[in-house]
Structure 1
Amino acid sequence: MDNRQAIGSWLSGPRAALEDAGAEFGYRGEQLGLPEDGPGSLARPGRRIGALAVDWALCVLIAYGLITDGYGQSTSNWALLLFFALSVLTVGTVGFTPGKRLFGLRVVALGSGRVQPVRGLVRSALLCLAVPALIWDRDGRGLHDRLARTVEVRT
C-alpha cells in the first residue's frame, strides 16, 4: 500500500476502510426496515438541519417580536422555551414541526408509526439539550431519536 492509499483510507473514515475489507453495512435505515430512498426513507442530515434552522428562526422571531424588548440573552432563553413547546406540541400530535413540514419530513415512532405525546416530550427535551442530537448512530439517527424510539423520515 503506498502513501496515497493509506492517506485516502484514513480520510474516508473507518466505515469506508471496513467496506473495502469486505464488510457489508447496507444502506442507512435498512436495520430499521425503512426503504433506501423515496417516501418513508431515513431523512438526510441536510434536510434535518434545514428544518431545524426554520423552526429555530421562527421561535427567535416570535421571542424577539412578541415577548422581549430587544435582542439579548432573554430573547435566546424565550426562543429555546418556545422551540421546546413547539416541538412537544407538534411532534407529539401530528408528527412534524413547521420546518419539518416545509422540508418534507416527519417523525414516526418505531413499530407503531405514530408518536405518542410522551415520546414527543422526551425527544424534544433531549433535542433542546443539543448534545444528544449531535451523537449519531450508523443509521444517522441522533441519540434523542434512539432514546425516544423515533425516526425522522421523508414524506
Structure 2
Amino acid sequence: MVDRKDIGSWLEGPGSRSGAPSAYPGERLGMPRDGAGSMARFGRRLLGAIIDWTACQLIAAALFSVPLPFAGVASRGDTTILLALFALENLLLLSTTGYTLGHRIVGLRVLSLDGQRARPFQVLVRTVLLCLFLPALFWDKDGRGLHDKAAGTLIARG
C-alpha cells in the first residue's frame, strides 16, 4: 500500500521524504538565512504585488479611462484591461530586469533556482499562473508560491 509520506506533496517541498526540518525558509534551496539573497518573506511579496497592481490601475485610468477603485464601478472589460497590464508588466520587466516595479521598490528580485535571472519561459509560466491568482495563495515551507514552484523560480531579497 502506498502511503502519503511515500509520495510527498508539493506543499511539503523537497525535504518532505527525509523528514529533515529546515531551520529557516530557503535553507533547503541553499539560500542564506537573511540579508541579500535570502528568501523574500510574505509581507514584502504582498507589498510588492500591491504596488504593481496599483501602478497598473493608475496606467489603466490614464490610458484607457478605467475608473479607479474609489472613483467608480469597474466593468468586466476594465478588469480585463487591468489584468492584461499586470501580465504585461510582469512579462516585460521580469524578462529584462529580473524584477517588477513593486519588487524593485521593496528590494526583491525573481530568480531561477540556479540563482540566475529567470528565463523567458519561466517568466511566462509564472505570469500566467500568477494572473490566475489562486496559485499565489498556496506556498511551501520555503515561502515559494505554486506559481514559482511550477516555473522553477523564487523571489529573493535584493
Aligned counterparts of 2:62 and 2:36: Cα–Cα separation in 1: 36
1:85 to 88, 107, 116: 88
2:130 maps to 1:127: yes
Q: Are the equivalent residues in 2 in contact too, given 1:60–1:76 (CA < 8 A)? A: no
Aligned counterparts of 1:101 and 1:55: Cα–Cα separation in 2: 10
Partner SS state of residue 92, structure 1: helix
Amino acid at match of 2:102: G
Q: 1:68 to 1:107 in 2, by over 3 A?
A: same
Counterparts of 1:40-51 in structure 2, within 5 Å, are 40-51=37-48
1:54-111 CA distances to partner (integer Å, 9 max, x unpaired)? 0000001111221135451232221110000000111122110011000000000011
Aligned counterparts of 1:85 and 1:115: Cα–Cα separation in 2: 16
Aligned counterparts of 2:53 and 2:106: Cα–Cα separation in 1: 14
- Counterpart in 1 of 2:64? 67
TM-score by length of 2: 0.80
Aligned counterparts of 2:36 and 2:115: Cα–Cα separation in 1: 17
Partner SS state of residue 55, structure 1: helix
Runs of 4+ in 1 over 6 A off after TM superposition: none
Amino acid at match of 2:44: R
- Counterpart in 2 of 1:114? 117
TM-score by length of 1: 0.81
User: Over aligned residue pairs, what C-alpha RMSD do you find?
Assistant: 1.3
Aligned residues: 133
Taking CA–CA contacts closer than 8 Å with sequence separation of 6 or more, which of the two structures ends up with the larger relative contact order?
2
* Matched-pair identity in %: 46
Q: Are the equivalent residues in 1 in contact too, given 2:60–2:66 (CA < 8 A)? A: no
Q: Where in structure 1 are there 5+ consecutive unaligned residues?
A: 1-22
Q: 1:135 to 1:69 in 2, by over 3 A?
A: closer
Aligned counterparts of 1:146 and 1:38: Cα–Cα separation in 2: 22
1:31-76 CA distances to partner (integer Å, 9 max, x unpaired)? 0000000000000111000000000000011112211354512322
* Larger radius of gyration between Structure 1 and Structure 2: 1
